[in-house]
Amino acid sequence: MIMYSSKKLKAPEHQVAGHSAKEGRLGPLVDGEGRFFKPFQRDFRGKNEDTFYEFFSSNKNAPNHIHGYFPSYQGTQVVEASNGSGKLPHIVLEDVVTGYLKPSIMDIKIGSRTWYPNISQEYFKKCMGKDRGTTSVSLGFRISGFKIFDHEESSYWMPDKKVVHGYNVDEARLALRKFVSSNSLADSIPDCAFASEIYGGPNGILAQLLELKAWFETQTLYHLYSSSVLMFYENESVLMKGGDDARARVKLIDFAHSFDGSGVIDHNFLGGLCSFIKLIQDILESSDNNNETNIFQFKNGH
């Protein structure tokens, strides 16, 4: 572990979920040069996540193309914490949205079960309450947060996370439609103008998710609880040049609750991933992306 100058570090501009470093709180930082500094979480979780990244980054049992779906690991460094509490260890990762000017980003927590083995009864009840109170149980995943650049308004729409966490199945489905629309504000009917460019195609979101699914159908190295799929693309390019220049990407993040797979397939993560893929496929296969009814009226996040 080495020391690192924190003079250039600042809160990430495009963070959509998790603890934020803004307003004097403890959260991740970026250096503007492609590095993302994530503070160690309390108790075992910080060390557990660092250990996951350290071992996975050199694990030859995972195919090379699968390694590309994880932020690259650059070790652990001590920097000044964002909340002013002093120097703390941080995991240093690739800042995956470096170079994106106006990215649309969505964080999706995968799995119908976010609790892991051998937890306290109190923590079990807390996790179960969230899983049942969101779409985790009903869909196998829940949206943790997102921001979408609206081309008609030339501004971002980022609903409050508490609102997002309260989405039901229909609202989660609608959010996925809005994510690839040119008109994404709260009260607009999504046009899904970018669905084929972002979700579809040989390099689109769906193709990447299917590649991950194929690996999770056989991998028994890890069980990932409360991990997320982060999907994002460049809005600055999609309107002018099409999907390839939009650099639609999928990354897996958040591994504080990762455990040895012990030779068993991670059915919890795989099931949630399959459910998420199904909704993406439904959007692409829809014959009329603009035929939205009032029953899907989106909750206003303002």
pLDDT at 31: 93
Judging by beta carbons within 10 Å of its beta carbon (0-12, 13-18, 19+), is residue 224 exposed, middle or buried? buried
Query: Whose structure tokens read 């996925």?
Result: 176
Q: Is 258 in contact with 217 (CB distance < 8 Å)?
A: no
Query: In angstroms, rounded to a whole number, what is the distance separating the alpha carbons of residues 54 and 51?
Result: 5
The residue among 86, 85, 92 whose CA lies nearest residue 29 is 92
DSSP collapsed to 3 states, the chain: CEECCCCCCECCCCCCCCCCCHHHCCCCEECCCCEEEEECCCCCHHHHHHHHHHHHHCCCCCCHHHHCCCCCEEEEEEEECCCCCCEEEEEEEECCCCCCCCEEEEEEEECCCCCCCCCCHHHHHHHHHHHHHCCHHHHCEEEEEEEEEECCCCEEECCCHHHHHCCCHHHHHHHHHHCCCCCCCCCCCCCCCCHHHHCCCCCCHHHHHHHHHHHHCCCCCEEECCCEEEEEEEHHHHHHHCHHHHCCEEEEECCCCEEECCCCCCHHHHHHHHHHHHHHHHHHHCCCCCCCCHHHCCCCCC
Q: How many CB atoms lie within 10 A of CB 87?
A: 13
Distance separating alpha carbons of residues 261 and 117, to the nearest angstrom: 12
Q: In terms of DSSP bridges, do strands 2-3 and 73-80 run parallel, antiparallel, or are they unpaired?
A: parallel
For the whole model, what pTM was predicted?
A: 0.88
User: Residue 302's CB: how many other CB atoms inside 10 A?
Assistant: 10
Give every residue of the chain whose pLDDT is below 50, as ranges.
1-4, 287-302
Distance in angstroms (rounded) separating the CA atoms of residues 253 and 262: 21
Burial of 207 (0-12, 13-18, 19+ CB in 10 A): middle
Instruction: Give pLDDT, residue 222.
Output: 96
**Contact present, 301 and 160 (Cβ < 8 Å):** yes
pLDDT at residue 236, as a whole number = 77
Which pLDDT does position 238 carry in this prediction? 75
